[in-house]
Structure 1
Amino acid sequence: MIRFVYLLAVLLGGFASPVVWSQANGVGVVLLHAKGSAPDTRNMRALASALESRGHLVSAPEMAWSRSRMYDATHDEAMSEIDRAVDALRQKGAVKIVVAGQSMGANAALGYAATRNGADGVIAMAPGHTPELGKTRRNAATDVQRARDLIEFGDGKEKQAFSDTNQGKRSAVSATAEVYLSWFDPDGPAVMPKSAAAFKKPLPLLMIVGSREPLAKGQDYIFDKAPLHPGSQFKVVDTDHNGVPGAATDEILSWLEALQGH
């Protein structure tokens, strides 16, 4: 049924129209997928179904890093897309809004809290995309400089071939220099510790990582940068990067229940 609703939404409105499940009970969840993925993958459908079973209203927009869009919008434009999903949930009766995401979706959820006031909480599952670190930074360095040069010479809106790294694997993507730089600038808006430190207001943050991924030992890298809030929690679940949404479902439901009660 969820897949049917998703396909119908795509046919009627394209990626600009998010998938919406369930009936509101006061908490709406914007659910952001991982890089190269989509809202209707098995783990996202399963998590949405679990949220639905507790009465939550869920919006799952297809974002600029999906497998079919892959960098067709800047970071700020993506934040505006989340704004629209938030507004739609509020119009359907959601009183509180949680922006939740997996991997690059978690990155965007943190970025949303740093640039907008629309969220009442953030869930970051297996946060990913680290343009400021290691292999991602090294692999993108030449293209980041090229993107800066293209923008300086007035060619920032023309599509070019750039490199990308996803879980250690390199690939080529087509994007404008403006879009590429917004996601890969090592001091830009997609840097997660920078986003966490820049939350517009103290928010409850649930950050969940898998025990078999690097950030399992990195609580201080992102989570501790966010403003203190009594509702914030850092959790490690026994899984790898891709398994976090499934392994953390019970933790997420419990956390949302506590948020709803406050």
Structure 2
Amino acid sequence: MLRRLRLLLLPLLGLIATTALANPLGPTVGVVLMHGKGGSPEKHVDKLAKALQQQGVLLANLDMPWSGRREYDADVASAVKQVQEALESLRNQGARKLVVAGHSQGGLFALYLAGRLPLDGVMAIAPGGNVAAGTPRERLADTVASARSLLAAGHGGEKTRLADFEGSKGLYPITTTPRIYLDWFDPDGAMNQSKAVQQLPASLPVLYISPEDDYPALQRVRQSMFDALPANPASQLLIPPGSHLQAPTAAIPGILTWLGRMAGTD
């Protein structure tokens, strides 16, 4: 069965942030929100964060290891712990439904976390950064091999110049340790989207958001990646208008509606 929600929104994306539910979500729902690669809590997820807070959602808008400021300064286990601590804080504040959400690389990491943490829902907003996909895997192969050689030679903890890849700008330099680099960029590791999806429990609803004008590579796999999720009647494929970077803002109405159903307030 096709589990797909297509949403028509106002063309002025700036107006979307003012969308509100008839019955605010209140503190029933707690959301951990993660930005995309090279981003920050103040950039592309900012309007979404504000919209959630306006609805009374308990929010943790995190600065993750892949941010522009941090540049992969921590490994995957540390990032998992960072999210766990944020979830615990939201629970202590009174949240009864806990959701992990992320944009782009944050969306992929949200899917990874969903197979490892006790959650009530996950929102993957234009998930990207799949290092096992054809082009990223090919373009990063030499750097991954170099990092493995440095690790084998006993230099795994020494910062060095390596490379990241993004479809919109190609290869670009980053500075981190080979050990941390391989934790994030090993094609069989945490940023392998197919493996992450396979680990999801069938009981977990997923809101998979793929904007109409997303990067072509992500448009091509949107349906297959959604179909690979465990069947759950509360899971939805949401296709708002807009680009990859506009997705968190464009999806606000759909996100609030989906969270409202979870909280029983819509």
Query: How does 1:146-225 map onto structure 2 within 5 Å?
Result: 146-169=146-169, 170-200=171-201, 202-213=203-214, 214-225=217-228
Query: Residue 143 of structure 1: CA displacement?
Result: 1.1
Kept after mapping to 2: 8 A contact 1:196/1:223: no
Aligned AA (2:175): S
Kept after mapping to 2: 8 A contact 1:86/1:118: no
Match of 1:25 among 21, 27, 33: 27
Higher relative contact order (CA 8 A, sep 6+): 2
1:10-53 Cα deviation digits (max 9, x unpaired): xxxxxxxxxxxxx9521100010111111112x42211121112
Residue 80 in structure 1 maps to residue 106 in structure 2: no
Kept after mapping to 2: 8 A contact 1:139/1:163: no
Cross-structure match for 2:256: 253
Identity %: 37
Runs of 4+ in 1 over 6 A off after TM superposition: none
Aligned AA (1:244): A
Cross-structure match for 1:136: 136
Cross-structure match for 2:11: none
Distance 1:84 1:163 in 2: 30
Distance 1:81 1:57 in 2: 17
TM-score by length of 2: 0.85
Aligned AA (1:230): P
Distance 2:245 2:259 in 1: 22
Query: Residue 168 of structure 1: CA displacement?
Result: 3.4
Aligned residues: CA RMSD: 1.8
Distance 2:184 2:86 in 1: 21
Aligned AA (1:28): G
Are residues 201 and 148 of structure 1, via their aligned partners in 2, closer, same or farther at CA, if it must alter by over 3 Å?
farther
Cross-structure match for 1:243: 246
Unaligned runs of at least 5 residues, structure 1: 1-22
Cross-structure match for 2:38: 36
Distance 2:222 2:167 in 1: 19
Query: Residue 200 of structure 1: CA displacement?
Result: 4.7
Unaligned runs of at least 5 residues, structure 2: 1-24
Q: Helix, strand or coil for the counterpart of 2:39?
A: coil
Are residues 83 and 159 of structure 1, via their aligned partners in 2, closer, same or farther at CA, if it must alter by over 3 Å?
same
Q: Which moved more, 1:125-134 or 1:200-209?
A: 200-209
TM-score by length of 1: 0.86
